[in-house]
A and B are shown apart, each in its own frame.
Chain A
Amino acid sequence: MMSSRACRRRATAWLCLLLLGVGMAAAAALQPSRGIAVLYPEIGEPYRSVFARIIQGIEEQARGPVTSIAIGASPNSQDVANELRRKDARVVIALGRNGLKMAASLERGMGVVVGGVVAVAEADARNFTVSSLAPDPALLFTRLRGLIPTVKRVLVVYDPAQNDWMIRLARQAAGARGIELVTYEASDLKTALLHYQTIVATMESGRDALWLPLDSTTVHEVAVLPLVLQEAWKRNLAVFSSNVAHVRRGALFSLYPNNLEVGRNLADYALGYLAATAPPRGMMPLKAVQLAVNVRTAAHLGIDTAGKQAGFDLVFPEQ
């Protein structure tokens, strides 16, 4: 019995290795579509899957595999440039900060589309088409209205160095929806805290909502968030955020990336370069979004989500 067992095991192992070998050879044999290359950061799980999903979306939209090059912390830019030339890449989709850094070091003349980042330096924004992971305020306000139809004002504290571009978009989006956007600038946390103190004291339940943007200066996880959420709970005030983790902690809702769709959009930009209809340069907000809602907070605010949960991609609390 044991010898047949060992024999069977060896046969299965060889079969398995054969399967893996065939699979990998098949993967290697697939010739990437010419023209588009993706530079993506060499990063571990769980975040690796974000970039894998974005690349999947790119390949779907490009209707074929693309050249994908992993960029480590200290890559050799000459090697990457050579590889891009060898693959006849004419447009590069740079994902993440490592991808962006590498793309910035490449020779001019190659189209560059940047994705998988929240924001970039002004110089990079001038040179490249940048698709941000920060959700479009127009979509945020639409969702807000959907949940709280009575809302009239949105208040936000932001650091101009990080979110000037986003607030410009927000003003347009708010105006188009008849919402008054009240903004407070803060370039340090102390100022931000003072603003929040004023805001929370003057907000009116049902009429006002506080927006927490992706801003490492003004949305402090320890000093700001707990107090804002606590005060909002006590006074039945709506807080929504551009960070999905805040929904888990008690914010009403957030929008977060649909990474497959993000990849498709990036591919569209890249295909535009190839078709000589280059997309505009500069920062563009995230439009491919999913919705996370805290139904506990919603119930506390008197929002009936029973018939709306079908449209929620993620619901908190988990139980």
Chain B
Amino acid sequence: MSDSWAIALILLWDAAVDGGCGAKDIPGEGGRVHWRMTALALGGAVACSCASAQPLAEDEDLALIYGDKSTFSLATGSKQSLRRAPAIATVITAEDIRAMGATDLDEVLESVPGLHVSRASVRFASLHFMRGIVGGGQSTPQVLFLQNGIPVTTLFNGDKGVDWVGVPVDNVARIEVIRGPGSALYGADAYAGVINVVTKSAAEAPGTVAGLGAGSFGSWSAWTQHGGTLGPLEVAAYLRVGGTDGFKKTIEADAQTRNDRLFGTAASLAPGATNLGYETIDASVNLAAGNWRAHAGYRQRDNMQTYTGVSSALEPYSGGRVEHFVGDVAWNDPQFATHWGLGATAAYTAYSFVYPGNLMLLPPGATLPGGTFPAGMIGGPNQWERQLRLSVNAAYSGFAGHSLRFGLGHDDLDLYRTKTYKNYRLSAAGAPIPTGPVIDYSEIQPFIRPQLRKLNYFFVQDEWNFAQDWALTAGLRHDRYSDFGNTTNPRLALVWDAALDLTAKLLYGQAFRAPSFNEQYGINPVANGNPSLLPETIRTLEAAVTWQARKDLQLNLGVFLYRMADLIRLVSNTAPAPGSTFQNTGVQRGRGLELEADWDAGRSLRLSGHYAFQRSLDASTGQDVGYAPRHRVYARADWRFASGWLVGGQLNRVTDRRRPAGDARASIADYTTLDLSLRSERGKGRWEFAASIRNLFAADVREPSLAPGLTLPNDLPLAPRSFYLQAIFTP
């Protein structure tokens, strides 16, 4: 111990000398020790003694109370909402988002280690590739999205829904990302990971703020936010409207180009520009009073264009409209009785996705073996869903060293209405036959009929502190589905607090993904639903170490191994039957690591970053599953000017994306992007300004198109350099 104190004294002396703050009467030591300590002192010791001698800056009192701004953000926010369980997790606060200069949720999520946000060819939908789990490169229902703790999973596709594009972050208090399985607590689809977006409470958005923004590609937005009280109620409200024309990048060849070659037509609009316009409405209200909480969120995306087309054929004609409402009322009394806490939640979600003017599948003049479509091949798959989720939970702490949680619930998951409009019928082999004008095919040949799924479940979890600095958490959840049966998923976590600054975790978990209604009941000869499907399953083993290397430097290292089984894939029907059907088949294995560093290099400079590696193989082919980068490097710097400006920069390098089996194209090119942001922290009067440049060097950024690449051979281009400016007004 005495050595430590001696070092501290020397450090102090060095700091004093370097900072000229007096206290030079401490005898120093020369040579190596002195140099070592001087280096240590540069970490920030200089500031302290001097600070008291000078007038305190306005924010120094608050810094003294709250410490760093990250802690501040937590301390002034609402209580953490993720049900606590040991996991490898990232929490991104509103302050982090501000520093990042992000305006869109997916920009924020790209900063999470092990998570790469890719894009689908349909509507530019975001794909969340977590640790190489890519969902076949088409959608990623293996990641569970929550809004204020409520699943937003839609039933037809099993993913987060079409509305999660251009999701603003002005109203986001916190984003909690768990990597790894979470079905033992969250149930279905907490498979590769869980993303919980928490909106701001009245405490997190006090007063009234309004903002206007505009940027490249005709993007604009206007929003207002208010936090206050209404009698005993704490109220936070948010409304934002916006829109974009979307970036225009050339698609050199598309699916219709291939059709044109085969049938001697010239219908394709390729080479041509991507179509990515849409208009947005985002609204939310959060209420709180005593033990009661209520959230209501509404999101609408209208005139939503299809990027490269739903059939990978360019078309500027279609505009979809999606509406998603997510609401819940929760009561929670953590001290209901001695040793007992009790809570209950009722949640309701409504989702609709329609094409009011129908959907252009192939452009006018397209010819297929079944005939020609002079007005284009047109479809109109429309769907309406509603979900009711009821749950109760209890916590018991009456056994020394144990912390028990129980819960049970019931979900009604209802795809209650579907409508199919189109100008063709499908032959038994799945070939489209033109039938003239667009008519209602809902009874004749729908894309799916209404479906109802019911679910009952219970879970139990015990956190047992069995020795000093050792804890074992064991959890288990049992789900009983009305359609595909039962599934039970355990989770074990061993946590060792090895030292003040060092924690090690060993985690094991099983999880499942419920088959979507499309996979179970879809009516399409080329992609037949299969009511006998079972869930996809995964077993994951993880180890993680968190080391607070210095006051201002935290390092995290996580490694993982997983094995996926019963993958739900399209399998060609046995000859002579034509078409394909969804089947449980195949195994995928993966492994990787994530290394993170977060360094407060000074009071005004923060550096952070990570390196992530993953390698995922399809067991049947022995080849990479493709799509996701094997290596990714992300680095970010936030620098606060003394004059009240915040400058941020982030660099994202995505490398080594292989093609899956059956795709003969060369590996997709690596890319590096650099984004910059500038934000006034003490704007003129009541105005605050923000500006951002994304992809500063206009790198040619592409995400992989679906294998085997016959329809979009040159992959999916992402936005070139873009700008966005915002003015924020506090009345």
Contacts and interface: CB of A to CB of B under 8 A. Distances in A.
B402 to A, nearest CB: 7
B71 A245 contact: yes
A304 to B, nearest CB: 6
Contacts of B551: 221-222, 225-226, 249
B639 to A, nearest CB: 14
Contacts of B44: 221-222
Contacts, number: 258
A56 B206 contact: yes
Interface string B3-21: 0110011011001000000
A314 B465 contact: no
Contact of A41 (B58, B497, B646): B58
Question: How many of chain B's residues touch chain A, expressed as a range?
Answer: 35 or more
Contact of B4 (A117, A230, A250, A311): A230
A229 interface: yes
Given A49-B76, A96-B58, A245-B67, A17 B222 contact: yes
B72 A46 contact: yes
Interface in A1-48: 1-2, 5, 8-9, 12-13, 15-17, 19-20, 23-24, 27-28, 41-48
B71 A244 contact: yes
A24 B1 CA distance: 61
Contacts of A43: 58-59, 681-682
A171 B172 CA distance: 44
Contact of A46 (B1, B98, B222, B729): B98
Contact of A44 (B500, B688, B731): B688
Given A5-B319, A243-B67, A230 B91 contact: no
B72 to A, nearest CB: 6
B339 A307 contact: yes
Given A23-B210, A96-B58, A220-B48, A319 B89 contact: yes
Contact of B357 (A1, A17, A118, A233): A1
B497 A296 contact: yes
A302 interface: yes
Question: Interface residues of A: mostly helix, strand, loop or mixed?
Answer: helix
Contacts of A9: 243, 279
A210 to B, nearest CB: 14
Given A222-B11, A243-B65, A318 B71 contact: no
B404 to A, nearest CB: 8
Interface stretch (B125-133, B256-264, B393-401, B409-417): B393-401
A206 B417 CA distance: 65
Nearest to A30: B731
Contacts of A42: 682, 685
Nearest to A220: B48
A107 to B, nearest CB: 23
A183 B181 CA distance: 50
B405 to A, nearest CB: 10
Given A45-B681, A162-B52, A222 B401 contact: no
A3 to B, nearest CB: 12
A67 interface: no
Interface stretch (A123-131, A253-261, A273-281): A253-261
Contact of A188 (B23, B51, B55, B501): B23
B56 A97 contact: yes
Contacts of B69: 46
A27 B731 contact: yes
B316 A249 contact: no
A41 B57 CA distance: 11
A193 interface: yes
Given A216-B64, A222-B551, A314 B75 contact: yes
Given A41-B58, A117-B61, A233-B499, A318 B80 contact: yes
A53 B94 CA distance: 16
Contact of B403 (A1, A97, A248, A306): A306
A60 B229 contact: yes
A78 to B, nearest CB: 18
A62 interface: no
Interface string B539-562: 000000000101100000000000
B45 A222 contact: yes
Contacts of A60: 229
Contacts of A13: 220, 222, 241, 243
Contacts of A73: 58
Interface residues of A, number: 97
Given A216-B64, A222-B43, A24 B12 contact: no
Contact of B468 (A50, A188, A290, A302): A302
Contacts of A304: 397, 400-401, 465
A8 B279 contact: yes
A176 interface: no
A190 interface: yes
A223 B11 contact: yes
Interface in B192-223: 203-208, 210, 212, 220, 222
A184 to B, nearest CB: 15
Contacts of B75: 244, 256, 290, 292, 314
A151 B424 CA distance: 81
Contacts of A201: 1
Given A46-B98, A189-B23, A306-B403, A5 B303 contact: yes
Contact of B76 (A50, A117, A302): A50
Interface string B690-701: 000000000000
A299 B497 contact: yes
Interface string A181-216: 000000011100100110011000000000000101
Which interface residue of A56, A190, A244 has the most chain B CB atoms within 10 A? Answer: A190
Given A27-B731, A49-B206, A221-B48, A197 B5 contact: yes
A25 to B, nearest CB: 10
A44 B683 contact: yes
B62 interface: yes
A247 B52 CA distance: 23
B280 to A, nearest CB: 9
B224 A19 contact: yes
Nearest to B646: A44
A159 to B, nearest CB: 8
A44 B681 contact: yes
Interface in A62-76: 70, 72-73
30 contacts: A1-B316, A1-B319, A2-B316, A5-B319, A19-B224, A19-B239, A45-B95, A49-B205, A49-B207, A52-B207, A52-B730, A60-B229, A70-B686, A96-B61, A97-B55, A190-B12, A193-B8, A201-B1, A222-B11, A222-B40, A223-B11, A226-B551, A246-B67, A250-B500, A300-B497, A311-B334, A313-B79, A317-B503, A319-B89, A319-B91
Given A224-B8, A249-B548, A304-B401, 20 more contacts: A8-B279, A13-B220, A23-B208, A23-B210, A49-B76, A56-B207, A96-B58, A97-B56, A98-B58, A188-B49, A189-B12, A190-B26, A220-B45, A227-B5, A230-B500, A299-B465, A299-B468, A310-B334, A318-B91, A319-B86
Interface of B: 1-2, 4-5, 8-9, 11-12, 15, 22-23, 25-26, 40-41, 43-45, 48-49, 51-52, 55-59, 61-62, 64-69, 71-76, 79-80, 82, 84, 86-87, 89, 91, 94-95, 98, 203-208, 210, 212, 220, 222, 224, 227-229, 239, 241, 243, 277, 279, 281, 302-303, 316-317, 319, 334-335, 339, 341, 357, 397-398, 400-403, 463, 465, 468-469, 471, 497, 499-501, 503, 548, 550-551, 644, 646, 680-683, 685-686, 688, 729-731
Interface of A: 1-2, 5, 8-9, 12-13, 15-17, 19-20, 23-24, 27-28, 41-50, 52-53, 55-56, 60, 70, 72-73, 96-98, 116-118, 133-134, 159, 162, 188-190, 193, 196-197, 200-201, 214, 216-217, 220-227, 229-231, 233, 242-246, 248-250, 256-257, 259-260, 290, 292, 296, 299-300, 302, 304, 306-307, 309-311, 313-315, 317-319
A-B pairs, top 7 by smallest CB distance, nearest first, are A245-B67, A310-B334, A44-B681, A307-B397, A306-B397, A306-B403, A233-B500
